[in-house]
Amino acid sequence: MFESLRAVPADPILHLSVLYRQDTNPKKVDLGVGVYKDETGHTAIMEAVSRAEERLLVEEDTKAYVGMAGSKRFCDLLAQVTLGADHKVLAGKRVAVAQTPGGSGALRVLAEFINVAKPGATVWVGNPTWANHIPVMQSAGLTIKQYPYYNSRTRTVDFEAMLASLETDTKAGDVVLLHGCCHNPSGADLNLEQWQATADLIKAKGLLPYVDIAYQGLGEGMDEDAAGLRLMANSVPEMVIASSCSKNFGLYRERTGTAIIITSTSINASLAQSQMNSLIRANYSMPPSHGALVVETILADPKLKQMWRDELKIMRKRITDLRSQLVDAIKAEGVEQDFSFIERQRGMFSFLGVNAEQVDKLVNEHSVYLVGSSRINLAGLNQHNIAYVAKSIAAVL
């Protein structure tokens, strides 16, 4: 049976880590996969996480199964972190929440949930979007279409084109995938006025907003980064949200995320919860526990929570500073092309805006690893490699 199988091309993002590890060039720089790195190039465990783990080692007294939706306490806390504690959809009990294996797990659970509610529904994703959005949605049975998002000439969101496409191309019951903040791969986000205009259109046309927020806290702040989705949740009757603790708690391999379904009534929220739980049961049965226990330990303890917020602030500021430093370093190489857009974008990513041949040279001649689309992870820069990266960019331009 298995001789009919064909090999699948390597993952365009994750495979970069393999290539980077194999490279023997001492000057190699990893700007590929979206993980935060500190000044030494290390993805360290956050201090608040270590403290919570120490506490769990003493206090955790069972490894019995958790439920299909994971820890109720985690789900309640994460719904508040994402939507804001006083959001009207929480007061109205209009939410169903499940702890999931990472943000990707949440994306898949929600895609399957949509496919139950409307088999084969069309999901409109921005062009570009995170490369894995498309296979995740398709493997749940959904149909993918694209709306224009990033204008590579102005290096900003092409909002007029985006809105025009959503207005004319979509039909009632279609789903619109939006990035909550820190757009992956472009770093170009909607401003609040644009969120509101998008929410108005979605409501008027009877579309379902599907917000992926994988980088909350890495842009402007935990509340600031969620402002767009909170506004959306205020404006529409139904919505789904996939959120991740991979980046803002540094829990990547612990696979900790949340699937949130907002419904028009509290009765529908119970129906949605039972449907979501049943999909989870038929898939992975229940989520892994450890990462969520760490997160709820931190969020439920004011001291640990403050420690985590302070650490996150340092991470966020480092990325913002690196954005300015890269722009300056490229300028210092005598490059006339304007790269200042990198400073105006947010989160871990920006497109360099170089072509495929230049990306190839950066990787193969300079050992500067970036995604084929020219996406760089700013957090991979540090004081030891930033001048080298700028020099390499200047060399390939």
Nearer to ligand LMR, 13 or 294 (CB): 13
Token reading at 77: 């806390």
State in angstroms the smallest separation of the CB of 21 from ligand LMR: 16
Instruction: Please report how close the Cβ of residue 244 comes to ligand LMR at its closest, in angstroms.
Output: 8
Regarding 287 and contact with ligand LMR (CB under 6 A), the answer is no
Query: Count of residues binding ligand LMR (CB under 6 A)?
Result: 6
Q: In terms of CB distance, is 94 or 108 closer to ligand LMR?
A: 108
Q: Is 124 a catalytic residue?
A: no
**Which H helix or E strand runs over 202?**
helix 192-205
Token digits for 393?
Answer: 């960019």
Residues 158-197 touching ligand LMR, rule: CB under 6 A, are 184
Least distance in angstroms from the C-beta of 90 to ligand LMR: 27
- Give CA–CA dist 382/326, Å, rounded: 10
Q: Which of 130, 158, 189, 225 is catalytic?
A: 130
Per the annotation, the verdict on 86 as an active-site residue is no
DSSP codes, 315-357: HHHHHHHHHHHHHHHHHHTT--S--THHHH--SSEEE----HH
- Which of 371, 96, 341, 352 is closest to 241 using CA atoms? 96
At 95, give phi and psi (nearest 5°).
Answer: -125, 145
Residue 34 binds to ligand LMR (criterion: CB under 6 A): yes
DSSP three-state, residue 371? coil
Question: How near is the Cβ of 146 to ligand LMR at its closest, in Å?
Answer: 18
Beta strands in 184-267 (DSSP E): 208-213, 239-244, 257-262
Does 100 engage in binding with ligand LMR (CB under 6 A)?
Answer: no
Beta-carbon contacts of residue 124 (< 8 Å; ≥ 6 apart): 145, 146, 147, 165, 166, 169, 170, 174, 175, 176, 177
Shorter beta-carbon distance to ligand LMR: residue 43 or 154? 43
Give how far the C-alpha of residue 262 lies from the chain's centroid of Cα atoms, to the nearest Å: 19
Question: Is 247 designated active site?
Answer: yes
For position 17 contacting ligand LMR by CB under 6 A, the verdict is: no
Exactly one of 124, 130, 308, 341 binds ligand LMR (CB under 6 A); which one? 130
Nearest to ligand LMR of 244, 392 (CB atom):
244
CB of 132 to ligand LMR, least distance (A): 6
N- to C-terminal Cα separation, the chain: 49
Which residues ranging from 240 to 269 are in contact with ligand LMR (CB under 6 A)?
Answer: none
Residue with tokens 């299909």: 68
132 binds ligand LMR (CB under 6 A): yes
Binding site for ligand LMR (CB under 6 A): 13, 33-34, 130, 132, 184
Active centre residues (catalytic)? 130, 212, 247
